Amino acid sequence: MKMQKMVWMGALAFGAASAQAAGVTLTMSCGASEQDAQYCKKIATEWGAKTGNTLEMLTLPQSSSDILGLFRQMFAAKSDKLDVVQIDVVWPGILKDQLLDLKPYTNGIEKNHFPAMVANNTVNGKLLAMPWLTDAGVMFYRKDLLAKYGEKPPTTWAELTATAKRVMDGERKAGNAAMQGFVFQARAYEGLTCTGLEWVASYGGGTIIDANGKTTINNPQAAKALDMAAGWIGTIAPTGVLNYAEEEARGVFQNGNAVFMRNWPYAWALVNGADSGIKGKVGVMVGMPKGDGPQSTGAAALGGWQMAVSKYTKHPKEAADLVLYMTSQAVQKERSISLASNPTIPALYQDKDILAANPFYGDLFETLKVAIPRPATVTGVKYNEVSAAFWNATHEVLSGKATGADSVKKLEAKIDGIRRGPSW
C-alpha cells in the first residue's frame, strides 16, 4: 500500500497533546471524497502545527467496501501503520475488536452529539468512534409544483402517493411525458437497506433486528410497508427505479422530471446549483412520511462517518486528541459552512451562520432527531450478510417476485441462519 507523507503546519490546538515537548508521527485515513480528503488535510494541518506532530495520509481505494477490506487486512496483521481511522456509520460493530475505547479521553464531550450517533458508536459499553459528520434520509419535493396544484408537503406515505400521482398526471397532460411522481434508491445494494428500513420502521415494523439481537422483521406491519412500496413501481415511480442508486434518482429529479425524491442531504447543494434547472424550486420535508397503525412514525435511516483510533496505535493519547479536535464544535461549524456537511452536534442546527449558508438545516434537524441506525452494531461482523439478505428480499417484493408476507417470513429464516445461535 502507498502512503502520502506530508508535514502539515497550521495555527490551532486541542487538548492534552498540545502540551507535548516533542512531536510524534501519526498516520490517518480521512476523506470519503477528494473534497473531504483536502478538508481533512487542512484541519490536520492546524492541529499538527501547534502540537509539532507529523501526519501521514493513507491512500485509500475508491469504494467503501474496498476501504473496509483494507482496514480489516491491516488490523488482522495488528499493524501500527494506521492510527486515526475514518469509518462508516455501519462499521463500529464490524471493527469492534480493533478500535480503541475513547471514553477515557473525551471528558464526556460525546454528550453534545446526537444520541443516536453516540449509541451507534458504542459497543459493549465502549465508545469506539466520535461522530464526524452525519446523514439521514431526506424527502425532497418540488415546492413550485405542489403550490401549482394546491398541495401541501405530505405527512404520510398515503398522502405522498396521492399527491405524487395527481401532480405527475397533471404535468404529463401539460406536456412533460417524462414526469414521475417519486424516485428513490431501489437497486439491490446498501442504499435499498436504508430505504427499506425507513419504510418498515415508519409502519411500526421495527428495525429488522432489535437491540437485543432478536430478528423482528417477520411481522404484518413490515410486510405491509414493503407491499406499499411495491405498489409505487410502474405507477408513481418508473420501473427503472429498480436500478436507481443516489445519483440516478438525483439525475431524474434535477432534470425536472420528478415531484418527490428520497436522497441524502448532499443533493441539496446540487439541485440548487447554478446548472440546475430546478434551482430555487426545491423544498425539504420536515421529517419523513409516516405509515399507518399505532406505531407509525417518520423514520429516516442514519448515515454518516466517524473518527476512530486503531487499537494498535503506538500513540493513543495523541491519536485520540486529533480525533477530538477534528470532531469538535468549532471544526464542525467551519466544515458545515464551507462544505455544506451535516454536523453531529444538535446545537449547530441553530447557529445563525450555518443556517445562512444552509437554510434547509432547520428542517433537516427534525429529521436527524428521529434518525434510526441500521442493525450494524448488534450484528457486528455479520452485518454485511444481514444487510444483503434484507436488500435482496426487499428487491424481490419491489420487482413483483414475492409478497411482503412471504418475503419477511423467508427473511427471518435467512437472518436466523446467518446468526447460527442464540446471540450474535
pLDDT the model gives residue 24: 95
Among 225-234, 257-266, 336-345, the minimum mean pLDDT is found in 336-345
Orientation angle between helical segments 404-419 and 383-398, nearest 10 degrees = 170
pLDDT the model gives residue 138: 92
Residues 142 and 184 in one domain: yes
Read off the CATH number of the domain in which 176 is found.
3.40.190.10
Is residue 50 exposed (0-12), middle (13-18) or buried (19+ Cβ within 10 Å)? middle
Residues 284 and 334 in one domain: no
Q: Hey, CA dihedral for 270, 276, 279, 283, is it positive or negative?
A: negative
Q: What is the mean pLDDT of residues 340-344?
A: 91
Split at pLDDT 50, 70, 90, the class of 421 is confident
Q: Which residues of 288-323 are buried (b: 16+ CB within 10 A; e: fewer)?
A: bbbbbeeebbbbbbbbbbbbbbbbbbebbbbbbbbb
Residues 294 and 413 in one domain: yes
Residues 254 and 385 in one domain: yes
Please, which residues have CB within 8 angstroms of residue 173's CB and are 6 or more apart in sequence? none
Q: What is the mean pLDDT of residues 190-208?
A: 96
pLDDT the model gives residue 19: 40
Residues 23 and 66 in one domain: yes
Task: Please indicate, yes or no, if residue 336 is contained in any of the structural domains.
Answer: yes
pLDDT the model gives residue 59: 87
Task: Please indicate, yes or no, if residue 326 is contained in any of the structural domains.
Answer: yes
**Is-contact 14 328, C-beta < 8 A?**
yes
Task: Please indicate, yes or no, if residue 347 is contained in any of the structural domains.
Answer: yes
Domain that holds residue 43: 3-128+303-368
pLDDT the model gives residue 206: 96
Longest pairwise C-alpha distance within the chain: 73
Residues 185 and 249 in one domain: yes
CA geometry: angle 403, 405, 407, nearest 5 deg:
65
For 2-22, what is each residue's pLDDT tens digit? 333 333 333 233 444 444 446
**Nearest Cα to 357, choosing from 349, 345, 368, 366?**
349
pLDDT the model gives residue 286: 78
For 108-144, what is each residue's pLDDT tens digit? 999 999 998 999 999 999 999 999 999 899 999 999 9
Is residue 62 scored above 90 in pLDDT?
Answer: no
Which of the pair, 416 or 294, is modelled with greater confidence? 416
pLDDT the model gives residue 363: 77
Report the C-alpha gap between 59 and 37 in whole angstroms: 10
Split at pLDDT 50, 70, 90, the class of 34 is confident
Choose the final residue of a domain: 347, 368, 389: 368
**Is-contact 387 374, C-beta < 8 A?**
yes
SS (H, E, C) 231-289: CCECCCECHHHHHCCHHHHHHHHHCCCEEEEEECCCHHHHHCCCCCCCCCCEEECCCCC
**Number of structural domains the chain divides into:** 2
Give the CA-trace dihedral at 376, 382, 386, 392, to 10 degrees: 120
- Mean pLDDT, the chain, whole residue set: 91
**Nearest Cα to 307, choosing from 94, 112, 130?**
130
Split at pLDDT 50, 70, 90, the class of 265 is confident
Residues 254 and 402 in one domain: yes
Is residue 54 scored above 80 in pLDDT?
Answer: yes
Task: Please indicate, yes or no, if residue 407 is contained in any of the structural domains.
Answer: yes
pLDDT the model gives residue 15: 45
Q: What is the mean pLDDT of residues 185-204?
A: 96
Choose the final residue of a domain: 325, 345, 368: 368
β-bridge mates for residue 319, sequence order: none
pLDDT the model gives residue 7: 35
Report the C-alpha gap between 209 and 211 in whole angstroms: 7
Strand ranges for 108-223 from DSSP E: 122-123, 126-127, 130-136, 138-142, 180-183
For 355-400, what is each residue's pLDDT tens digit? 998 888 887 888 888 788 899 989 988 999 999 999 999 999 999 9
Task: Please indicate, yes or no, if residue 211 is contained in any of the structural domains.
Answer: yes
Q: What is the mean pLDDT of residues 89-115?
A: 96
3-state DSSP call for residue 14?
coil
Type of residue numbered 277: G
pLDDT the model gives residue 361: 87
Residues 118 and 206 in one domain: no
For residue 353, give Cα distances in angstroms to 334, 335, 361: 10, 12, 11
